[in-house]
Structure 1
Amino acid sequence: MAYWLLKSEPEVYSILDLKREGRAIWDGVRNYQARNYLMQMQQGDLCFFYHSGANPPGIAGLCRVKGTLLPDPTQFDPHSPYFDPKATRERPRWYTVEVEYLEAWPLVPLAELKACFPQDHPLVKRGNRLSVMPVPPEVAERLIARRGCR
């Protein structure tokens, strides 16, 4: 099993939205590195749900990968802001995963996460805006055990 961090702005899609729906496709990712990470995910992997753009930003809960290598449907929708005219159903360019809700947490703020993650990790590296990233197993296990880095 691997561990991942998925970022979403809470006013767009929050951990409470996922809780209400139970499952969701993690659509709209349009960064090749993030897409490549999505394509590496396996069923059963755990994901930390991170509220970006919040005040403060931080981990708000946990979800699990249920489906993998799904063509992102927004790439085919000409009315979507994530439409890609070069993508076809025969040759999709963007893939995603389906996740299921596990639990909401009291927010673990970025300031606390900086003490938990390696200094070169994309989450705590200044200027990094990657929306999907791996989490080292030792960090993930510590976060899950304590619901934070304390």
Structure 2
Amino acid sequence: MARYYLAKTEPEEYSYDMLEKEGKTVWNGVKNPLAQKFIKQMKKGDFLFIYHTGKEKAIVGIGKVVSEPYQDENGLYVVDIQPYKRLNKKLTLSEIKKIKEFQDFYLVKMPRLSVMEVPDDLANLILKLTE
């Protein structure tokens, strides 16, 4: 069964729009050991909520993992992703913080973490709130 993860990106650097335009990218540049752990456990077919940081601070779209994790030239784990779906409604960090189900979510507890696993119940809630 496919799992969900969340990956943060600075939209001025790389946005969901850019992913749609390019059609595929390598999700790289992640150095944090915990974020690396999450990338290493990804499987082809998993989904990645794309979260824009900076001024936007919102989940804006979903990417699909289209490769198994592999190491780049720096020895960091990366995956290839493709756009899957632009969300009908963005889900902002301020909205997430108001919902009790998210109080223990990495996005709230560890705001500097750039890639994180999303438990099934929270993934389903995100999907419901962004329809």
Normalised by the size of structure 1, how large is the TM-score?
0.79
One-letter amino acid of the counterpart of residue 107, structure 2:
L
Unaligned segments of structure 1, at least 5 residues: 76-92
Tell me the CA shift for residue 143 of structure 1: 1.6
What's the secondary structure of 2:66's corresponding residue? strand
Number of residue pairs the alignment of both structures matches: 128
Equivalent residues of 2:91, 2:129 under 8 A apart: no
Q: In structure 1, what is the Cα distance between the partners aligned to 2:100 and 2:14? A: 25
1:144 has 2:123 as partner: no
Q: Could you tell me which residue of structure 2 aligns to residue 99 of structure 1?
A: 81
Q: Could you tell me which residue of structure 1 aligns to residue 32 of structure 2?
A: 31
Equivalent residues of 1:61, 1:103 under 8 A apart: yes
**Residues 117, 99 of structure 1: CA spacing in aligned structure 2 closer, same or farther, 3 A cutoff?**
farther
1:113 has 2:114 as partner: no
| Runs of 4+ displaced beyond 2 Å | none
One-letter amino acid of the counterpart of residue 48, structure 1:
F
Normalised by the size of structure 2, how large is the TM-score?
0.89
Tell me the CA shift for residue 65 of structure 1: 0.6
Unaligned segments of structure 2, at least 5 residues: none
Cα RMSD after superposing both structures: 1.6
Percent of counterpart pairs with the same letter?
Answer: 36
Greater C-alpha Rg: 1
Q: Which moved more, 1:112-121 or 1:130-139?
A: 112-121
